[in-house]
Structure 1
Amino acid sequence: MPPAPPPPPVPPPQPQPISNLTHLNKSKAALPDFFLAALSLFAFLSSSSSSSKSFKFPAFSIQLNPRRFFKIPSISMEFPNSNSKSLTFTSPQSLSEWLQPRLPSHSFASWGVIPGTKNLHNLWLEISQGETSLADSNPPIRTLHVLSLRIIDNHHRLLLESHQQLSDGTLRNRNRPLSEKMKPNETPESAVYRAVQEELGSILGDSDYSQLVRIVPDSYRLKIEERDSVSYPGLSASYVLHSMDVWVEGLPDGDFCTVEEEEYVNSEDTNIADHAVSVKKHFWKWVSPESVDF
């Protein structure tokens, strides 16, 4: 068989015109511009995000600069206290006669006797002032609206009331945020300033509390808890809890104590109030939010 003929020679590559290479020059020129644009965008995002950081704890969010809190003109929904529809009693004696057949005798007899409890005069005052309602049921249920304030500071700490000193000399453990019974038809926001003034006023002085207190936006929560009353053993209670996060200017950095004025000093029932158990002193401490569970 004759040998195969050799392959034809490969022609050398033809040089491309200069116009066909311009896209390479453009790509090389665009590469530094791309990095510069990306670097500028990164710097912009970094500077804008650093001015509005926040720390989120399990139950609330705290802005780094509490002075930027703004006062909420009004809560979006009002929750009037319906305690004005409570059963009424002409005297503590009439209340006692109504309660005795509806409560265990040993529980009722412990009111004002066991340290930390309140007495019949306290409950009658709460009802007469519209702070508490009693359902016409057996067993009776005590219903009240309670404001719970989670006061926070610059160090992201939470203010707790550790305990109270009562007028009978006993101490009552609390370990909870500032809490205050709400008045009839009182909105949560208006209750905030009254509660801070009544329980912390002895250390804050006579100030404009609308300027001292800032409500954290979107921190309002409403929930209902049903449990036995600590103040009145044997009496079931339904607590309508209105909770908010607030920042209060002028509070001490360490543990402190405040003195509360007489609760019913302006009431027409001062003679009965003299027989009630009242809070004389509040003891406060700052704790980390992670150490509590509310």
Structure 2
Amino acid sequence: MSQHPPPIPSNLHKKPTTALPDFILTALSLFLLASSSKPSAHLIPFPLNPRRFLRISTMSRRSPNPNLLFATPQSLADWLKPRLPSDSFAAWGIKPGTKNVHNLWLELSEGETSLADSKPPVRNVEVVIVRVIGSGDKVLIESHQELSDGAVRSRCRPLSEKMRPGETVEAAVVRAVREELGSIIGASLNNSAYDGIVKIVPNSYRKKVEERVSVSYPGLPACYVLHSVDARVDGLPDGEFSTEEEAEYENSDQNKVADSAVSCIKHYWKWVDADSL
């Protein structure tokens, strides 16, 4: 007696429903990749798409590209030049108030900054902002800076400092006060002494993300993760005053590079009404 083969399930004759979406997504991906290679792709329209921008930033921070560890400032410059508008990159360290490639190399070597491997690259920075509260609830702001190249850079913002890898907000606040205000409070004091001088106001912590082209590095888009707190700091004058920044680098190679970087010689501070910020 002959046996008939089992019937073929009817659902096998159906086409996969995901074929069309996959095809569309593949075509779209190829189109975007092709578009990114065009000469005009180095110009990013602003405002950026927040989701796309933050995804690039997060991936860059969590999975640093080993190709972005530059041995020298020159190797960093060679990598940046084809990825940035030439007129913008040429202004680094030349246009008053800007920094140069030596500054960016130092930020990368310290882990204060990371770069996304894109065109143009995206500079990712975490910053602590300290709203120092004084008598009459006035807020301390840095009015301007005197730079090593003779330029004066306007600031008009509270005390701020780039954070280092693994650093807590509390530790970054203490370091910011010590480095930028220590020359008038007591430069010889150690971190533990500053723990008693700096008092963070409870429940004042705020966090936000800002996306903009960097003022210090023209043409370089940046994503800033801002950690803000209010704090009271003992030992500060009531009127306007100036401070000198504490030396940042202990590594001899970094010190050599720092000699060619644009550095801040003096910070100028004043108290303002909180409503004016």
TM-score (normalised: structure 2): 0.74
AA of the residue aligned to 2:118: S
User: Which residue of structure 1 aligns with residue 219 of structure 2?
Assistant: 234
AA of the residue aligned to 2:180: E
Kindly indicate whether residue 85 of structure 2 is the aligned counterpart of residue 104 of structure 1.
yes
User: Which residue of structure 2 aligns with residue 174 of structure 1?
Assistant: 155
Could you say what secondary structure the match of 1:155 adopts?
helix
What value does the CA root-mean-square deviation take over the aligned residues? 1.6
The 1:131–1:203 alpha-carbon spacing in structure 2 relative to 1, beyond 3 Å, is same
Kindly indicate whether residue 260 of structure 2 is the aligned counterpart of residue 252 of structure 1.
no
User: For residues 29-76 of structure 1, what are the alpha-carbon distances to aligned partners after superposition, in whole Å with 9 as ceiling and x for unaligned?
Assistant: xxxxxxxxxxxxxxxxxxxxxxxxxxxxxxxxxxxxxxxxxxxxxxxx
User: Which residue of structure 1 aligns with residue 139 of structure 2?
Assistant: 158
AA of the residue aligned to 1:286: W
Percent of paired sites with the same residue? 62
Report if the CA contact (8 A) 1:157-1:289 is conserved: yes
- CA distance in structure 2 between the aligned counterparts of 1:203 and 1:264, rounded to whole angstroms: 20
User: For residues 115-158 of structure 1, what are the alpha-carbon distances to aligned partners after superposition, in whole Å with 9 as ceiling and x for unaligned?
Assistant: 11000110011111111000000111000110100000121100
User: Which residue of structure 2 aligns with residue 196 of structure 1?
Assistant: 177
> Structure 1 stretches of 5 or more lacking a match?
1-80
User: Which residue of structure 2 aligns with residue 186 of structure 1?
Assistant: 167
User: Which residue of structure 1 aligns with residue 42 of structure 2?
Assistant: none
User: Which residue of structure 1 aligns with residue 197 of structure 2?
Assistant: 212
Higher helix fraction (1 or 2): 2
Aligned-residue offset at 1:263: 2.7
- CA distance in structure 2 between the aligned counterparts of 1:126 and 1:227, rounded to whole angstroms: 18
Kindly indicate whether residue 249 of structure 2 is the aligned counterpart of residue 268 of structure 1.
no
TM-score (normalised: structure 1): 0.70
Could you say what secondary structure the match of 2:137 adopts?
coil
> Structure 2 stretches of 5 or more lacking a match?
1-59
Equivalenced residue count is 212
Which deviates more, 234-243 or 89-98? 89-98
Map of 1:25-104 to 2, 5 A cutoff? 82=61, 85=64, 87-104=68-85
- CA distance in structure 2 between the aligned counterparts of 1:83 and 1:125, rounded to whole angstroms: 20
AA of the residue aligned to 2:130: L
